[in-house]
Amino acid sequence: MRVQFVFGKESKLKVLENAQMEELQSGSYRVTVTVYPMETELFVEGEANGYTSNIRAQPLSEDYLRDMAKQDNQFVKLETAALYNVVGDNAPTDAMVKACVQTGLKFVDFAFPPDQKSLQIGSLLKMKVLPWERPCMFLSDANAEQVRLFRNGVHPANIDEGDLGDSWLTGAMACLAEFPDKIRDLFRHPENVEEGKKERANGIYRVTFNKNGWWMNVIVDDYLPVAGGRPKFGRSKGDPAELWVAILQKAYAKVFGGYGFIIAGDPLHALQDLSGFPCSSFDNAFVESTINETYELFEHLLQYTSTGYQLVFTTPTREAIMSARGAAACGSPAAAEVSFTKANLLLGHTYAVLKVGYFPQTNLRLLQFRNPWSTSKSDWNGPWNKRDPNWKKFAEIANYFNFDEEDDGTFYMEWPDVQDYFVGCGVCFLQHPVYDYRCRGTFFQNVPTTCLEISVRRPIILNLMLSQEDKRGTDKAENSPIMISVAHGCGQVSPMRVDLNSGFDNDHPTPEFTFLQSRDVSMFYEFLPQFSPYLVVPRAMSTYPSLPYTMGLLSPAEIGTDASDVRVAFRALAPENRVFDNYQNFNCETVATETEFQAKSPNQFFPDIYVGTILQTSNQ
313-343 as b/e, with b when 16 or more CB fall inside 10 Å? bbbbeeeebeebbbbeebeeeeebeebbeeb
CATH of domain 279-428: 3.90.70.10
Q: Is the dihedral angle over the CA atoms 256, 261, 267, 269 positive or is it negative? A: negative
The per-residue pLDDT for 461 is 98
Residue of 189, 269, 300, 349 with catalytic role: 349
Side chain identity, residue 72: D
Distance CA 135, CA 230 (A): 8
The residue that leads in pLDDT, 601 or 407, is: 601
Distance CA 553, CA 466 (A): 9
User: Among residues 314, 335, 329, 309, which one has the least CA distance to residue 178?
Assistant: 309
Question: pLDDT, tens digit, for every residue of 176-190?
Answer: 999 999 999 999 999
Tell me what the pLDDT averaged over the chain comes to: 92
Question: Mean of the pLDDT values across residues 82-87?
Answer: 90
**Confidence class for position 618, pLDDT limits 50, 70, 90:** confident
Side chain identity, residue 488: H
Based on its alpha-carbon atoms, the radius of gyration of the chain, rounded to whole angstroms, reads 28
CB atoms within 10 A of CB 17: 8
Q: Judging by beta carbons within 10 Å of its beta carbon (0-12, 13-18, 19+), is residue 517 exposed, middle or buried?
A: exposed
The per-residue pLDDT for 356 is 97
Distance CA 571, CA 595 (A): 9
Question: Mean of the pLDDT values across residues 392-408?
Answer: 93
The residue that leads in pLDDT, 513 or 66, is: 513
The per-residue pLDDT for 367 is 98
Question: Mean of the pLDDT values across residues 465-478?
Answer: 92
Please answer whether residues 609 and 437 qualify as being in contact, where contact means their C-beta atoms are separated by less than 8 angstroms.
no
Residue 49 has pLDDT above 90, yes or no: no
The per-residue pLDDT for 324 is 92
Residue 38 has pLDDT above 70, yes or no: no
Please report, for the chain, the start and end positions of each structural domain, with discontinuous segments joined by +.
2-56, 63-260, 279-428, 435-612
Distance CA 517, CA 468 (A): 10
Residue 300 known to be catalytic: no
Q: What Å distances lie between residue 508 and 288, 516, 570, CA to CA?
A: 18, 14, 25
Question: Mean of the pLDDT values across residues 354-380?
Answer: 91
Question: Mean of the pLDDT values across residues 484-508?
Answer: 95
Residue of 371, 463, 501, 506 with catalytic role: 371
**Confidence class for position 1, pLDDT limits 50, 70, 90:** low
Question: pLDDT, tens digit, for every residue of 224-263?
Answer: 999 888 899 999 998 989 999 999 999 999 999 999 999 9
Residue 503 has pLDDT above 60, yes or no: yes
Residue 620 has pLDDT above 70, yes or no: no
10: left (phi over 0), alpha (psi -120 to 50) or beta: left
Residue 54 known to be catalytic: no
Does the fold of domain 279-428 match that of domain 2-56? no
The per-residue pLDDT for 89 is 78
Question: Mean of the pLDDT values across residues 529-556?
Answer: 97
The residue that leads in pLDDT, 21 or 376, is: 21
Q: Judging by beta carbons within 10 Å of its beta carbon (0-12, 13-18, 19+), is residue 584 exposed, middle or buried?
A: middle
Q: Is the dihedral angle over the CA atoms 182, 183, 184, 187 positive or is it negative? A: positive
The per-residue pLDDT for 449 is 98
Question: pLDDT, tens digit, for every residue of 86-124?
Answer: 988 788 999 999 999 999 999 999 999 999 999 999 888
CATH of domain 2-56: 2.60.40.1180
The per-residue pLDDT for 52 is 85
% the chain with pLDDT above 70: 99
Distance CA 143, CA 558 (A): 46
Distance CA 437, CA 557 (A): 11
435-612 CATH, one of 2.60.120.380, 3.40.50.300, 3.40.50.1970, 3.40.190.10: 2.60.120.380
Residues found in the chain:
620
The per-residue pLDDT for 157 is 92
**Confidence class for position 141, pLDDT limits 50, 70, 90:** confident
Give the SS3 label for residue 238: coil
